[in-house]
Structure 1
Amino acid sequence: MTHRLPDPNPSPQKGRPRALVSGVASDSHTWNLVFLQLVCEEEGLDVVNLGPCVPDELLVTECVDQRPDLVVISTVNGHGYREGLRVVPKLRARPELADVPIVIGGRLGVTGRREDGLAGELTAAGCDRVFDRGPEDIEEFRTLAAAVAWTADDASARASVQFG
């Protein structure tokens, strides 16, 4: 007798708002991605979690295929700034993703402390919000996820969600 294990990342329910959570290509950490998935689910979003070490091309392809209402990029290894500057413009270059909120957060630089200029550059590259202050960002992220879940049924309302 063979037993099938449940799919650890089942397809989101059709019609429900969803977030796509991803690590950056060089980051093998998973705990941050699981934590963000749980926060998004608690706030009413289905989640597609691509996991760690996601190549840029895979992230772009999955975002186009999945059509998420929110893209969440997280990093712990300190390379999020450089990788965000590389991958976010690729996401923004796709017309299907032009209006999809993209956020990035975690340890963005290798110094281990917040660097003011990084957030501005990531915003200029196409991020709607940069979470780089540490644990105090979680409530703001939770509020954002709830707002996306609440407005995702109406694409015109989604455009009015504030990210700053």
Structure 2
Amino acid sequence: MDREDVKNEMNGMQPVTFTLRPIGVVRSPYHSMRDAPRQGRLSPGVLSKIAIFEEFRPGVGDLGGVRHIIVLYWLDRAERDLLHATPPGTTTEKPVFATRSPNRPNPIGLCVVEVMKISEGCITVAGLDALDMTPVLDIKPYSPGIDAITCDGPGQNTPNQAM
């Protein structure tokens, strides 16, 4: 589909809005963006809790015994009008969708964390970079066979390319 096809398809369409309901909140030692690591894996020993709201607790159980989960959360303190960002360790500004900046039009955070404990509607995890009281949108089991991508060869992402 080329640009004109997309333009014709979208002609007359109204922007769509969504209503998201958090399933819980993060309880974290990080209270400002300056406190938090730029990626949760940079602080694997730091524990946080995901407090699941009562109505969603039956959806947690023991999480099927998985060791790692993907946490999706709303970066409620992010700036939503930025379309460029300068990744850490660089001086070159990049388009926001080529970065992992929290400041973006739809600030959805994603972090793979290790499950340490599940108790009374609370999931204790290691390696979460979210700020205290961040709304949690969803939790999914991490599956290495599906979620891990081996990056071999030229042109593939490396850990420092998409910060």
TM range (shorter): under 0.3
Point out the structure with the larger helix share: 1
Compute the TM-score of the two structures, normalised by the length of structure 1: 0.26
Q: Using CA pairs under 8 Å that are at least 6 residues apart, name the structure with larger relative contact order, 1 or 2.
A: 2
Instruction: Determine which structure has more spread, i.e. the larger CA radius of gyration.
Output: 2
